[in-house]
Amino acid sequence: MSDHLHELQPVAPLGEGYVTTGDAVPRIDGRAKVTGQARYAAEIAVDGLVHGAVVNAAIARGRIVAVHDQEARAVPGVLDVLWHGHRPEAPQLAHYFETGEDFSTVPVKPLVGDRVHYAGQPVVLVLAQRWEAARYAAGLVRIDYEVEAHETDLLRHRADSRAPRELDEDTAPPKPRGDADAAFAAAPFKIDAEFHQGAEHHNPMELHASTVIFEEGGRLTIHDKNQGGYGTRRRLAKVFGLDESQLTLLNTFVGGAFGSGLRPQYNLLLAMVGALHLRRAVRVVLTRQQMFTFGHRPEIWQRVRLAAERDGTLKALIHEAVGETSRVDDYTEMVTRWSGTLYRCENLRGDYRVLPLDLPTPLDMRAPGAASGLFPLEVAMDELAHALGMDPLTLRLRNYAERAPASDKPYSSKKLRECYALAAQRFGWSQRDPKPRSMREGDELVGWGMASGQWIAEQEEAQARVVLHTDGHLDVATAASDIGTGTATVLAQLAASALGVPLQDVRVHIADTRLPEAPTEGGSSHVASVGSAVDGACEKLRKKVWQLARAIAGSPLAGSKLAEVEFVGGRVRLRKSPGDALVLHEVLAASGAGQFEAHFHLEPDEDEQGRYERAVHSAVFCEVRIDEAMGTVRVTRVVSAVAAGRIINALTARSQVLGGIVWGIGQALHEGTLIDHALGRFMTVDLANYHVPVNADIHTLDVSFVPEDDRIVSRLGAKGVGEIGALGVAAAISNAIWHATGRRIRTLPMTPEKVMAP
């Protein structure tokens, strides 16, 4: 290992003492983060580091005719200016340039050709000895373009949409059932409404950054902001024609990602190009404005039609959607599938189409597809309830699905009914006056709304290693990522609880491709996957220690079975006779070995899991207060009840849902990237103009978990909580605004001028 590689150190625990699964354990990396000890991808100290600055295309579509880089090259400290007409000749880069675009792996390969696919496309890389020189020189580069007509307006050209080239089981519309159009026409009560949501951008606090260190023999050590080291390494190896063994990926600390780190962004590709070209360490950090020049939640138009009998039984459900994609790649999401999974309805039809535009290829963003698709469904359900003169919660219970509507499979577990009851009780829903504009406090109208949430419950293949030392320390190793969700803390907690050792004695090693393989953190599956692998490794280790303890002369555990012992308080003891115990480190010392190690490879039982529908559920109730003259909306209360399997850490799980609620408030009232269609580019490209919720926007948030234990989804009984907290919130707010004002707002974000509209 080279001298300049920052050693991955185990995080220092905050709490002390013994913990069990389910406890509210503070984040073990919290102190390192708030004191600045944590080092992110842009903060790795490397001798002789070269800095790269990116120049982005100023047109939406066309061709680069000439790049004038003479002034940039004259800046002191500038080492090179790279673009498609001045490609580096390093042999390791031949594959990158000669194979052209590879849209299946990365959205666009920078510097490969003269085509401009969208405004903001990276087209020039300036390499300099100092960041200031690189940034200044980048501003001196002048580019001549041949401009072509572009199109960025989804609503204007929605009729030109087409079916995606490929759809998998997740992103395809629900399979049709019955005759939805005939049933809709014949039903006595019906809703037909169109919805629109603008593009959203991820904007994590940490900017996307990569530090690529060139080492002897052509090996590369890469510090990058991403959500999965192994997945990122595989993509890089394919794009650059390298063997994976040449690459070490570390994403030790990640300051939020929300889907933006699921695949390599262009900062990493350009840092790789620079490092291979100069045979030196290169760092590329995007600016906040450049954070708006790659993937985002796509703009989408939707139409939902619901029909019901007098008693509220759904007779028809039709959900159509047109989503934005780019010219170079089809991006698809699971948008309309939720209408086929959440409620019972014998007549169903869904349609999902894409419209290629001259914009960056969209990218998964927290609860991709569901955040978009559930909004119109849940607002339309509220509209139908009003048309029926029925309570919105009653309508949902009337059409509650006890089995999966699409497949007729049983649920591995489903406690949505209990979520409804708990959240309604905590909110006080029974006191709601159903008439719009019926509630007021002072100068503000008051509205109450509710909605349902649903997300998938998945598990991925994962590996983990645990090592128990005679000094009492327990090492947990896996390449899992922690993008701010608290993964490291949960893994430490699981191991400490399983072996009965103090939390402060657990050292967690993650986010390094030299460690056992772990999946990318995404889709709310990380704890169910990596956590289960750690649990499996700990089970193996417990068996080894028990076998040794049982064999010790005069052992009180002699003749015992593994199921009859437990590891508690630093001891291994009989469950029925806690006094019959051996101190753990003394057992290890008796072996004469310095450590005990166990490895576990989790491979989900797809046949067993495939027999069930697996999902997490939530019920969201919210209160808004509206100054009608100003159009301002205050979300004063949100109550969310979540069924997400067994909760491993009550504190971090609650934090995930709280953060999700804030996301939902942002989706509802604040977030939307505006496009200048004349120029074909995003306009709101900084945090001064792209609005997100701030402290003053957040009031009382109430989160509860409905007890649930799902051993089909994971051996821990856990499901994921990363996405579910954001779902249903925007719809509940929209429904509450209608209740307060009598106005239906079907476009997001619901900004003051829409609230004020007659």
pLDDT of residue 11: 40
For residue 221, how far is the Cα from the chain centroid?
25
CB 317 within 8 A of CB 119: no
pLDDT of residue 8: 34
Question: Cβ neighbours of residue 101 under 8 Å, at least 6 residues apart?
Answer: 108, 109, 112, 113, 328
In the structure, what pLDDT confidence band is assigned to residue 103 with cuts at 50, 70 and 90?
confident
Residues 21-26 have a mean pLDDT of 94
Structure tokens at 284: 């590329």
CATH number for the segment(s) 462-603? 3.30.365.10
In the structure, what pLDDT confidence band is assigned to residue 99 with cuts at 50, 70 and 90?
confident
pLDDT over 60 at 16, yes or no: no
pLDDT of residue 91: 84
CA distance 43 to 40: 5
The pTM of this model reads 0.95
pLDDT over 60 at 7, yes or no: no
Q: What single-letter amino acid sits at 210?
A: S
723 belongs to the catalytic site = yes
User: Kind of pairing, strands 220-224 and 247-250?
Assistant: parallel
CA distance 374 to 337: 9
Structure tokens at 94: 């031949």
Tens of pLDDT along 632-684? 999 999 999 999 999 999 999 999 999 999 999 999 999 999 999 999 999 99
* Tokens 């006080």 belong to residue: 428
Tens of pLDDT along 549-591? 999 999 999 999 999 999 999 999 999 999 999 999 889 888 8
CB neighbours of residue 105 within 10 Å: 15
The CATH number of domain 411-455+615-756, selected from 3.40.640.10, 3.40.50.2300, 3.30.365.10, 3.40.50.300: 3.30.365.10
| 3 state DSSP class of 268 | helix
Element (H, E) at 378: helix 370-388
3-state secondary structure 111-173: CCCCEECCCCCEEEEEEECCHHHHHHHHCCCEEEEEECCCCCCCCCCHHHCECCCCCCCCCCC
CA distance 233 to 213: 14
CA distance 72 to 94: 26
The structural domains of the chain, with segments of one domain joined by +, span 411-455+615-756, 462-603
Catalytic-role residue among 383, 603, 723, 753: 723
From the list 559, 563, 540, 539, the residue with the least C-alpha distance to 549 is: 559
From the list 297, 299, 293, the residue with the least C-alpha distance to 355 is: 299
pLDDT over 60 at 409, yes or no: yes
The secondary structure of 252-309 as a DSSP string is ------TTTTSS--HHHHHHHHHHHHHTS-EEEE--TGGGGSS--BPPEEEEEEEEE-
pLDDT of residue 506: 97
From the list 578, 551, 710, the residue with the least C-alpha distance to 644 is: 710
pLDDT over 80 at 4, yes or no: no
Residues 144-149 have a mean pLDDT of 98
CA distance 166 to 332: 9
Same fold, 411-455+615-756 and 462-603: yes
Phi and psi angles of residue 93, each rounded to the nearest 5 degrees, phi first: -95, -5
pLDDT of residue 550: 93
Tens of pLDDT along 708-738? 999 999 999 999 999 999 999 999 999 999 9
pLDDT over 90 at 160, yes or no: yes
